[in-house]
A and B are shown apart, each in its own frame.
Chain A
Amino acid sequence: MHALLDAGLAEAKAEGIALEAHLQTCATCRSEWNALLKADRALWEGRSIQPRNQILPSFRERVAQQPLPSHNTPWASAAALSLCAALMLVTLLLLPFHRAVPWSAKRPKQTRTAMELQQIAPTIETKRLAGLLSQQALSHHRATTAVPFANGRHARRNSTSVQMATKEAPLRSPLYARTPKVATAIAMRAASAPNPLAHDGALLPKKTQLPKRLNTSGQPTEPLEERRSLIIGTVSTDVQEENIAMAAPSNRGQADAASNGVLSAASPDIASATQGKGADWLTAQAPVRLHVVDPHRGFSSTLEMLPLANGCPPSIVFEENALSSAQEVLR
């Protein structure tokens, strides 16, 4: 029985059949097996445990107090310290003879470190953003994330893509997560922290309102603040059945239509995108590439999901093609 549980019922078919035959004739073993199976099933529930709180911020604080790890031995560290002390001494001695240069003149403008960039959504590994920031035209945003599916191979949960606006880039920061809870948690964390996508210079007026095309609720929103994010809505992605079938509505009304509709097979691995014709969906063995077109918010994006391969979590790529600049959005 234990060997069968170790191997998994699906992978030990022969043993399973033999056990089943025996259990039909032996009440003691049947009772034993049922109790064992009940405990075994209960234990699997532990897979859904998650931390209650976001522990990354406090972890960052703790790790910031740690010296950087290196291969150096204590002797090498001591030598490095001595060298630093000597250099500082020499610098202090030579400083009075050096021409004074204002510190601000030396500081490069609009620099953002990789660490800052990752703060916006730590589960999303941002790519290419560093270079784009300096151009102030974030026309192409590509983010990769890997969210494990708790139930193994089959994606069958609702997913949510949270669209966030920032003063500096109203169409930026699409966050994708497997569950609305996770997406919201990421979004809330990003919203409560300084927005690392913010530029040094004020790109937009201080009292910037959310552009009308982004505000589908019709209600007035709070002004976008500098270095803060505002969640402007979500795009629900309904993932049903195994091997991924998803509906990607482009607005809330279409989301309802999609949830009521029957998902049917479409092209197996090619993206399907229709605009203004109700829900867009596809069924595929995977990889799945999904184009989401949102006429209300004025962007199109591509969601690419690669399924579990060799037991590793799927990777999800969210690629957004937005307008060429934040200024254009406001026109």
Chain B
Amino acid sequence: MSQEKTASCADNDPASSSEEQMLITRVLQGDRSAFDVLFLRYQNYVYRIVYGMVGSAEEADDLTQEVFVQAFRALPRFRGQSRFSTWLYRIAVNKATDAMRATGRRRLLSLKNWAISQKSAEFPTQQEVDHQQALQDAVQRALMHCPVPFRQVLVLRYYNECSMEEIAETLACSVEAVKVRLHRARETFRKAYEAVCKEDERELE
């Protein structure tokens, strides 16, 4: 997997931000359809956050919508001091965290929970699809063994490719704190992932 720094957010450039500001203004003027554009732009990002945290596709579908509904309602309070994406991610993280705490249970995923990845859209072989699904399943199972604060930071960093600054802004903490939390999260995940992999190997035997 590439270690290069990749695009983290959809609105990194000023032109995109100003377009978003325009869309927000339109929504506030009564044009609900303008919010569809924002929804479509960010639905995958939000979905990845909530899915990574709750681990259930059905719940993630529902939570994604709830995040956007809440954002829609709270739009007048968005002052543009942070990026729209960061603001939205904050809502998503909070919603998913609340949902986790409300249910207070860990979920294990079935393979069917995973959406067909973009890789599979390139018509890979069945073997590649199976491998990809097994890998993603193992990752999510390991993630579900991590504490919620670790999950937050891992999902933002890896699933959504956020920079340290963006994570800090989303989680309302300093960049240094994010780094420390990420290091601990990575260590916790590594151990959980190793355990999951060993478990899978034992099952295969």
Which A residues have a C-beta under 8 Å from some C-beta of B? 2, 5-6, 8-11, 35-36, 38-53, 55-56, 58-60, 62-64, 66, 68-71, 113-115, 118, 122-123, 125, 146, 148-153, 157-158, 179-182, 308-313
Interface size class of B (residues with CB under 8 A): 35 or more
Closest 10 A/B residue pairs (Cβ) = A115-B33, A181-B121, A152-B6, A48-B117, A46-B159, A179-B121, A9-B3, A43-B158, A41-B1, A39-B190
> How many angstroms from the CA of A44 to the CA of B11 in the assembled complex?
21
Given contacts A39-B194, A63-B68, A69-B74, 7 further A-B contacts (CB under 8 A): A44-B2, A46-B158, A50-B116, A51-B43, A56-B40, A62-B65, A146-B10
Shortest A151–chain B CB gap in Å is 7
* A70 and B13 contact, CB distance less than 8 A: no
* A71 and B2 contact, CB distance less than 8 A: no
8 Å CB contacts to A: which residues of B142-181?
142, 154-155, 158-161, 164, 179
Residues of A within 8 A of B118 (CB): 48, 50, 150, 157, 179, 181
Q: Which of B5, B13, B39 contacts A312 (CB 8 A)?
A: B13
* A69 and B2 contact, CB distance less than 8 A: no
Would you give 20 A-B contacts (Cβ < 8 Å), ordered by A? A2-B179, A2-B182, A5-B186, A10-B5, A38-B190, A39-B189, A39-B194, A44-B1, A45-B117, A45-B135, A50-B117, A51-B64, A56-B43, A59-B68, A69-B27, A69-B72, A71-B76, A122-B36, A123-B40, A182-B121
Q: Which of A39, A60, A63, A311 contacts B7 (CB 8 A)?
A: A311
Shortest B37–chain A CB gap in Å is 6
Residues of A within 8 A of B138 (CB): 42
> How many angstroms from the CA of A57 to the CA of B108 in the assembled complex?
28
Given contacts A70-B28, A152-B2, whether A118 and B36 have CB atoms under 8 Å apart is yes
* B159 and A47 contact, CB distance less than 8 A: yes
Q: Which of A2, A11, A68, A118 contacts B37 (CB 8 A)?
A: A118
Residue of B nearest to A65 (CB): B69
Given contacts A46-B52, A123-B40, whether A68 and B8 have CB atoms under 8 Å apart is no
Interface contacts (Cβ under 8 Å), in number, total 201
Residues of A within 8 A of B117 (CB): 45, 48-50
Shortest B118–chain A CB gap in Å is 5
Residues of B within 8 A of A10 (CB): 3-5
Residues of B within 8 A of A47 (CB): 48, 158-161
* A50 and B115 contact, CB distance less than 8 A: yes
Q: Is B54 an interface residue (CB 8 A)?
A: no
Most interface-central of A10, A11, A48 (chain B CB within 10 A): A48
> How many angstroms from the CA of A113 to the CA of B2 in the assembled complex?
44
Residue of B nearest to A58 (CB): B65
Given contacts A47-B161, A313-B7, whether A122 and B40 have CB atoms under 8 Å apart is yes
Residue of B nearest to A72 (CB): B76
Residue of A nearest to B14 (CB): A310
Q: Which of A39, A55, A113, A182 contacts B186 (CB 8 A)?
A: A39
Residue of A nearest to B190 (CB): A39
* A45 and B139 contact, CB distance less than 8 A: yes
Given contacts A39-B186, A49-B117, A58-B65, whether A312 and B12 have CB atoms under 8 Å apart is yes
Given contacts A64-B32, A179-B118, whether A46 and B155 have CB atoms under 8 Å apart is yes
Residues of A within 8 A of B120 (CB): 181
> How many angstroms from the CA of A157 to the CA of B119 in the assembled complex?
9
Residues of B within 8 A of A50 (CB): 44, 47, 115-118
> How many angstroms from the CA of A313 to the CA of B44 in the assembled complex?
14
Shortest A286–chain B CB gap in Å is 15
* A51 and B52 contact, CB distance less than 8 A: no
Shortest B169–chain A CB gap in Å is 16
Shortest A236–chain B CB gap in Å is 11
> How many angstroms from the CA of A22 to the CA of B139 in the assembled complex?
29
> How many angstroms from the CA of A114 to the CA of B23 in the assembled complex?
13
Q: Is B60 an interface residue (CB 8 A)?
A: yes
Q: Which of B2, B57, B139 contacts A46 (CB 8 A)?
A: B139
Q: Which of A43, A69, A115, A122 contacts B189 (CB 8 A)?
A: A43
Q: Which of B69, B116, B142 contacts A63 (CB 8 A)?
A: B69
